[in-house]
Structure 1
Amino acid sequence: MAVAAPQTSEGQPPKIKASAASLIDVGSGQIYFQKEGDKRREPASLTKIMTAILAIEKGDLKDVVTVRKRAAAVSMGQDIGLKSGDKLYLEDLLKAALMYSANDSTVAIGEHIAGEHDLFVKMMNDKAKSLGMKNTNFANTNGFHHPNHYTTANDLAILTSYALQNETFAKIVSTEEAVITWLPDEESKSVTENGEEKPLKQRTIHSTNRLLRSDYQGINGVKTGTTPRAGNCLVASAAREGRQLAVVILNSNNRWNDATRLLDYGFKEVRPVVLAEKDELVTELEVREGLEKRVSLVALERLEVYVPRIEVEKIQRKVVLTPAPEAPVKRGDKLGKMKFYLDDKELGAVDLVANQDVDRLSWFKRLFDKS
């Protein structure tokens, strides 16, 4: 699969067809681009990102999951044909959910982890709140339409950034092909001629994420989603030169090009900017009862962030100092912070420290100064 070349003009982000989108740095959590980023929308099968990461954290990949009636009854959309009583490893159900987008597998996962579907959904919402997903509410495990099932592009970006830091999740969503195995039960074991057990059933699945089969540099995930109401959705991630970016595309008639063009924008137009150098002189602060009346404050460390080139000039700096300290002051004492903002969002901060020792005046001189 070939991907379209990015179409940007003088550092501007590309025009995309998605109704909503978000571009995030997986490592820092910084959002570089958004379009209707906080507008509530239906996530379709992107819901399964939450289902999967929660199951990975709460379960064991080698757990044997017994499929119940509710999961077996799922027939809408994509499924792997689970039947009541089927036994599969949790790991295989996760692959079916994340790679093949199987709706029945997510119900089986939720019931296994929480004991019942609705309790698992509550766990999903609790997790969303803990991650700071402020405009999200889940009503099911797979993304079926429901009036109370919604999220936003920015919230999904936050979720994806978190999930991709889990090695198991990252490995599954970067896999193009896998074999799902149904485990035999005690009453229906099948054996080969040499007496070894063999599985009752196996199925090869392929990822619905076409970008994994493309020539796009560094692509390594994540998940597709499609329903009539949500439209064509996609979360994609790629890594280059030590950076990993993820993009959320909601309701687009060309989600593949939207995703790759935004990723290219992130890699090419979002560049490192040094906001502070270590030991850089920033300001001075009064010292009470010191041999020196003021102390120089320097940046404790180097601060570098990634910012879209067209927004560098919009960065604002704010210096926050402690009340004037009383001598003695030691070199390295933290006496303030220097913070940097872009569109009222903090990009980073660095501590300001004393650049020299300031000894205390003798009692006689202190008395004389007060007189």
Structure 2
Amino acid sequence: MKRVVCLMMVLIVICATMISASAVDYGCNVATKSKAVYLENLDTGAVILDKSSTEKMYPASTTKIMTYAIVADNVEDFDNTMVDINEAVFKDLDPESTVMGLSKHVGEKYSIRDLLYGMMLPSGNDAALVLADYVGGGNISAFVEKMNAKAKELGCTGTNFVNPHGLHDPNHYTTAKDLATIAKYAISKPDFMTITGTVSYTPERFDQPITNTNYMMINNADTAKYYYPNVKGIKTGYTDEAGKCLVTTGSKDGLTYLIVCLGADYSFEEDINYAMLDSCDLYDWVFENMAQRTVYSASEVVKTVHVNYGKGDDKVSLMPQGELTALLPKNYDQSLVKVEVECNDSIDAPVTKGQSVGTVTVKYDDMTVGTTEAVASKDIALDKAKVFWNNLGDWFKKNFILIAIIAILILVLIIVFVVISSAKKKQRERESSRRRYRY
């Protein structure tokens, strides 16, 4: 029986995933070389493109997004919290991996801020280990437990971490969708976008600045094919097993998008980062094809409802609270746009103009793309006379049985009174008749 229940639950989860992934088709036809892609509008939560977003992937150094979040969860003061650089923490680190350069500063103290820059810009695995050791209380495994606990708390279902830096381990994996969830959480942490959006930074006692590995933010001859002025942050990643990985945000015309690209093949002979090229193509597409569209103006009526006890009027029109906009393709299919108003069929007076009565929701291909309040278009005063007569009627309805019993009792009393009165009258007539015959 337990096996049957488990199988049913698995099938439900799979079906729900399939439905959500295909809930809306925005027509994004960008061909990507990344094996898994997730593109979301951060203003509305609309998923513009979902390619294998729930498949198991290796995250490489994009792991450090979660590492940053856990550090930020546990350290309040980035500038005045100082950490000892102990060589034992990173002595077994692969010398071929990317580092901040802390081996030259053993025995010194560095601020959490310097270490975060060192972890996120040049993708320093040494900085990630030092931070994890500090926050984990001298136990990096304890830090990793915090990473997995946070992933579970955020609703990630396809993620498991075994280290804070992302160097390959077959049991260290995530999904594009989970990584987007983690990135959105990290964005809410102090200074995350400032640090990851910085091109270069010079930590204390460093002779040279450390540089961001996200070439989409760097405009020079070597990075020109990747440079995208609208992009800011977040993290790159690469191992032979993971391929090229990249998480970025991009903003234009008041809209911000998050793109996760995982598993792009890479060869040193080609020296082309297809995760970055994919991201460039995807930003080109969304900025060219997606826009905020006005579905209803603030003066358009979306529904009319009955008003109980209204003085002079028993109906009120509802309108959106301000202009109702939705993120839609610039050449969207209008037949796929539906507006739903959720409110009671009637409301009680008094009603005030602008009073929230319900919600107006815009759906595109059955996916919610915009919502606002439904508000009353005018004032309607309370008619106290209507309230009195309504309350009186309600009282009679609620006390119908009691009233019926009282009425019956009164009727019985009347009948008894009439019968008694009639009997007394007849008795008086008989007595009067006897007196006449006696004289």
Task: Identify whether the pair has TM-score above 0.5, normalized to the shorter chain.
Answer: yes
> In 2, Cα distance between the equivalents of 1:27 and 1:368?
52
Measure, in 1, the Cα distance between the counterparts of 2:349 and 2:249: 52
Give how far 1:64 is off.
Answer: 1.8
Kept in 2: contact 1:24–1:161 (CA 8 A): no
| Structure 2 CA distance for partners of 1:155 and 1:295, relative to 1, 3 Å | same
Q: Which amino acid aligns with 1:259?
A: S
Match in the other structure for 1:175: 198
**Is 1:16 matched with 2:32?**
yes
Deviations 1:320-356 (A, max 9, x none): 1125223333333322211123454422321112223
Task: Give me the whole-angstrom Cα distance separating, in 1, the residues matched to 2:107 and 2:332.
Answer: 57
**Structure (1 or 2) with the greater helix fraction:** 2
The answer for the alignment partner of 1:346 in structure 2 is: 368
The whole-number CA distance in structure 1 between the counterparts of 2:297 and 2:261 is 37
Asked whether the 8 Å contact 1:339–1:346 carries over to 2, the reply is yes
Question: Which residue in 2 is equivalent to 1:160?
Answer: 183
2:315 matched residue in structure 1: 294
Using the alignment, how far apart are the partners of 1:315 and 1:147 within structure 2? 44
Segments of 5+ residues of structure 1 without an aligned counterpart are 1-9, 182-198
Query: How far did residue 31 of structure 1 move?
Result: 2.8
2:50 pairs with 1:34: yes
The answer to whether the 8 Å contact 1:237/1:247 transfers is: yes
Question: Residues 135 and 361 from structure 1, CA distance in 2 versus in 1: closer, same or farther, beyond 3 angstroms?
Answer: farther
Other-structure match for 2:65? 49
Give the one of 257, 261, 265 matched to 1:249.
Answer: 261
Q: Which structure is higher in strand share?
A: 1
Q: Secondary structure of the equivalent of 1:362?
A: helix
Task: Give the residue type in structure 2 aligned to 1:210.
Answer: Y
Q: Hey, what does 2:289 align to over in structure 1? A: 269
Return the alpha-carbon distance in structure 1 between the equivalents of residues 304 and 393 of structure 2: 21
- Which residue of the partner structure matches residue 134 of structure 2? 112
CA 315–229 in structure 1, closer or farther in 2 if over 3 Å, else same: farther
**Where does structure 2 lack aligned partners over 5 or more consecutive residues?**
1-25, 219-223, 266-273, 397-439
Q: 1:119 to 1:344 in 2, by over 3 A?
A: farther
State the shift of 1:260 in Å: 0.2
Q: Is the 8 A contact 1:235 1:247 kept in 2?
A: yes
- Taking a change above 3 Å as real, the CA distance of residues 282 and 255 of structure 1, as seen in their structure-2 partners, is same
In 2, are the aligned partners of 1:272 and 1:304 still within 8 Å (CA)?
yes
Cα 1:230–1:237, aligned 2, differ >3 Å: closer, same or farther? same
Check 1:369–1:112 CA distance in 2 against 1; reply closer, same or farther (3 A cut).
same
**Quick one: which amino acid aligns to residue 239 of structure 1?**
S
The amino acid of 1:262's aligned partner reads L
User: 1:185 maps to which residue?
Assistant: none
Structure 1 residues 333 and 142: alpha-carbon distance in aligned structure 2, compared to 1, 3 A threshold: same
CA distance in 1, matches of 2:49, 2:354: 38
Report the AA paired with residue 99 of structure 2: D
Question: Structure 1, residues 202-234: CA drift from partner, whole Å, max 9, x if none?
Answer: 454322222222342323222211122211111
Letter of the 1:222 partner, please give it. Answer: I
Alignment root-mean-square deviation, CA: 2.9
TM-score by length of 2: 0.69
Instruction: Name the structure 2 match of 1:234.
Output: 246
Tell me how far 1:108 sits from its aligned partner. Answer: 0.8
Contact 2:243–2:263 under 8 Å retained in 1: yes
Distance 1:138 1:343, change over 3 A: farther
For the structure 1 residues 366 and 56, does the alpha-carbon distance in structure 2 shift closer, same or farther, using more than 3 Å as the test? closer
Change (3 A) 1:299 1:26: closer
1:102-150 deviation digits (Å, cap 9, x = unpaired): 2121111112123122222233234334544444332321113344432
Partners of 2:248 and 2:258 within 8 A in 1: yes
Corresponding residue of 1:73:
92
| 1:11–1:269 contact (8 Å) kept in structure 2 | no
Distance in 2, matches of 1:202 and 1:178, equals 11
TM superposition shift of 1:310? 5.2
| Max Rg structure | 2
Residue pair 2:112, 2:131 contacting (<8 A) in 1 also: yes
* Counterpart position of 2:5: none
Q: Is the 8 A contact 1:56 1:168 kept in 2?
A: no
Read off the aligned partner of 1:113 and give its amino acid letter.
V
Q: Deviations over 1:77-112 (max 9, x none)?
A: 222454564532222221221111121211111121
Alignment of 1:94-113 (within 5 A): 94-113=116-135
After TM superposition, give the deviation of residue 167 of structure 1 in Å: 6.1
TM-score, normalization: structure 1?
0.81
CA distance in 2, matches of 1:124, 1:258: 28
**2:166 maps to which residue?**
143
Q: Which position in structure 2 is the counterpart of 1:191? A: none
Q: Does 1:306 align with 2:327?
A: yes
Identity across the alignment (%):
29
How far did residue 368 of structure 1 move? 9.7
- Matched with 1:218 is 230
Equivalent position SS for 1:281: coil
Deviates more, 1:301-310 or 1:245-254: 301-310
